[in-house]
Amino acid sequence: MNQPLGQKYETVIGLEVHLQLSTRTKIFCGCANVFGRDPNTQTCPVCLGLPGTLPVLNKMALEYALKIAMALNCQINPLIKFDRKNYYYPDLPKGYQISQYDKPVAYDGHVWMTTVDGQTRKINIKRAHLEEDAGKLIHDDRSNSSLVDYNRTGTPLVEIVSEPDLRSPQEVYDYLQALKLTLEYLHVSDCDMEKGSLRCDANVSIRGAGQKIFGTKTELKNMNSFKAVRTALEFEEKRQREVVSSGGRIIQETRLWSEEKGTTVTMRSKEEAHDYRYFPEPDLVPFDIDDALIEEVRRSIPELPRQKFERFVGEYGLSEYDARIIVADQHIAHFFEACTKLYVDTKKISNWLNGPLLQELNVRKMGFSDIKIKPEDFIAIIRKVDENVLSNLTAKETLKQVLDTGKDVAAVIRDAGLAQVSDSSALEGIVDELIREHQNVVGQIREGKASAIGFLVGQAMRKSQGKANPKMIGEIIQRKLSAKSDA
């Protein structure tokens, strides 16, 4: 009983991720699939579920779902069909959701992810299926009513259900990152949790360490960011441990995460148990997923993050650390590869990319896709350093100005006077000044403390605003001091 809680219990988590597909139109009608419009302006008789209307499947939605299935290493059902999931809710205009029950697009897949401590883990995917999204409800306290907007109704969704393979809130966070990255590479969704294009519910239970059977699970909803998922799961994990430790029992229920309160709260208990009465959707026909379609979709799948990571390590000799950073954003990865066509030292590219360039982006709070530097400009800056035209310091300043102004590198260096000073008479003047100002340092150098030369070089760089050629300054100092001591 004195064991710490952490070792006594194991947490078991499975995730259901709902992904809105970024097709041009909705899944079963021709309404535009767009976000943020005035309420009930992106609807038609079909997505409003008006009497007599019928759904027709958007082929692109199926292709996107197949892309996802392949990227998640899933088995693909040779014949898929749709089913009705029956329940009443005001955001569901037909009284049922068209979903998939026993013949989903895909099953038995997996995602590779990297944990915070650098371990690689495989998380199994139970299934992925296509369905339609519901509308949006706004709760209006003033009029004691709820308001319904059907614009979102019929947005194509893929639900990705993981096996209960996740063991901690942090692992869930890492899994979501890995999943999101793969989905971003596919260009099938915005993957934006804040906008609701990626949503996630979690099934959480705990069990005694070493125990085989699962504990009673709760379903966690209403988490609107990756961080919220992690925090909510941490809370729920702790809550369940406390309930069980104090001799209580977990009740199977749905709990909502409250961001403001920082707690999960139970949903008002339902009138009756869920009985969705699934049955085959008679308004849609089955779909054969034949080899030709699979081949067509497979050809449209780009290189995925995991393959790219491995290739960057192997082909460009990047460290796993550097490769991971570059691959974590497909725009960066693309930029990096473009640079490698222009410049041979890939390690140096990665250093300048992951260092100064990403720092500049952090400062600006911008994404890589927001900036306008071209690989040619970026490599031009690195080359100027190689040619001693720029120091590291002036190179960073050049980069900053290129990002700010969009001017080309040569113009920035010229207009801002950033080129290195290699004119020896000017440099000798600076060194003479320094020798006068820092007699004690000069003394140390004469006594043989060579490292003190570095101090003077640094001071020379300061005086010249980084433009002095540091190599020449060092030589001048050595020459002057040894000449004097000889005298």
Partner 1 sequence: MTKSQKSITKEDVQYIASLSRIHLQGDEVERLTKDLEDILRYVHKLEKLDVRAVEATSHVLPLANVYREDEVRPSLAQAEVMKVAVMSHNGFLKVPKVIQ
Partner 2 sequence: MKLNELTAHELRDLIGEKKTSPQEVRDAVLARIRQTDGQVKAYVRLSSNAATQEPSGGCAMPVPIGIKDNICVTGEPTTCCSRILEGFKPPYDATVIQKLKESGAYLIGSTNMDEFAFGSSTENSCYGPTRNPWNKDCVPGGSSGGSAAAVASHEAIWALGSDTGGSIRQPASFCGVVGLKPTYGRVSRYGLIAFASSLDQIGPIAKDVEDCALLLGIIAGYDERDSTSADLPVPDYTKALVNDVKGLKVGIPKEYFVEGIDPQVREAINAAIDVLKKRGATFYEISLPHTEYATATYYIVATAEASSNLARYDGVQYGLRRQPVDTRKTPLIDMYEETRDAGFGSEAKRRIMLGTYSLSSGYYDDYYLKGLKVRTLIKQDFDKAFQKLDAIITPTAPTTAFKIGEKTDDPLSMYLSDIYTISANLSGIPAISIPCGFSKERMPIGLQILAKPFDEAMLFRIAYAYEQNTPWHKERTPL
Pick what 41 binds: partner 2, partner 1, none; C-beta below 5 to 8 Å, kind-dependent. partner 1
The answer to whether the CB of 225 falls within 8 A of the CB of 193 is yes
Could you give the count of Cα atoms lying within 13 Å of 36 in the half-sphere of its Cβ?
4
Out of partner 1, partner 2, none, what residue 164 binds, judged by CB under 5 to 8 A for its kind, is none
- Only one of the segments 17-25, 70-78, 407-415, 441-449 lies at the binding site for partner 1 (rule: CB under 8 A); that segment is 17-25
Nearest distance in Å: CB 410, partner 2:
58
Q: Quick check: 250 and 266 in contact, CB under 8 A? A: no
CB of 39 to partner 2, least distance (A): 14
Residues 198 to 257 in contact with partner 1, rule: CB under 8 A: 256
Element (H, E) at 235: helix 226-245
User: Is 29 a binder of partner 1 (CB under 8 A)?
Assistant: yes
Phi, psi of 467 (to 5 degrees): -95, -15
**Does 295 contact partner 1 by CB under 8 A?**
no
What is the closest distance, in whole angstroms, from the C-beta atom of residue 48 to partner 2 in the complex? 7
Among 148, 166, 395, 476, binds partner 1 (CB under 8 A): 148
Q: Which is nearer to partner 1, 266 or 465 (CB)?
A: 266
| Binders of partner 2 in range 90-129 (CB under 8 A) | 90, 93-96
Structural contact between residues 277 and 86, judged by C-beta atoms closer than 8 angstroms:
yes
294 binds partner 1 (CB under 8 A): no
Q: Is 261 an interacting residue with respect to partner 1 (CB under 8 A)?
A: no
C-alpha distances in Å from residue 323, one per residue of 33, 55, 101, 307? 35, 45, 40, 11
Distance CA 233, CA 219 (A): 10
Task: Check binding of 58 to partner 1 (CB under 8 A).
Answer: yes
Q: Which of 277, 298, 449, 462 binds partner 1 (CB under 8 A)?
A: 277
Name the residue nearer to partner 1 (CB basis): 194 or 272: 272
Residue 150 in the binding site for partner 1 (CB under 8 A): yes
Which residues have a Cβ under 8 Å from the Cβ of 344 and sit 6 or more positions away? Answer: none
Q: How far is the CB of 168 from partner 1 (least distance, A)?
A: 28
Rule CB under 8 A: is residue 153 a binding residue for partner 1?
A: no
Among 225, 279, 414, 423, binds partner 2 (CB under 8 A): 279
Is residue 61 involved in binding partner 2 (CB under 8 A)? Answer: no
Interface residue with partner 1 among 5, 6, 50, 366 (CB under 8 A) is: 50
Is residue 143 within the footprint of partner 1 (CB under 8 A)? Answer: yes
User: By rule CB under 8 A, what count of residues binds partner 2?
Assistant: 30
Minimal CA–CA distance to 148: which of 162, 163, 159, 137?
A: 137
Residue type, 386: D
Residue 26 vs 308, nearer CB to partner 2: 26
The total number of residues written for the chain in this structure: 487
Nearer to partner 2, 135 or 375 (CB): 135
Interacting partner of 283 out of partner 1, partner 2, none (Cβ under 5 to 8 A depending on kind)? partner 2
Token pair 């009443």 is found at 88
Taking CB under 8 A as the rule, does residue 49 contact partner 1?
no
Please give the C-alpha separations between residue 10 and each of 46, 208, 209, 235, 384, in angstroms, as whole numbers.
Answer: 47, 6, 5, 15, 56
Within 13 A of 306's CA, how many CA atoms are on the CB side? 17
Count of beta carbons in the 10 Å neighbourhood of residue 87: 12
State both tokens at 285. Answer: 């026909």
Give exposure, 142-159, as e/b (b: 16+ Cβ within 10 Å).
eeeeeebbbbbbbbbbbb
Using CB under 8 A, list all residues that contact partner 2.
Answer: 45, 48-57, 84, 86, 88, 90, 93-96, 146, 148, 271, 275, 277-279, 282-285
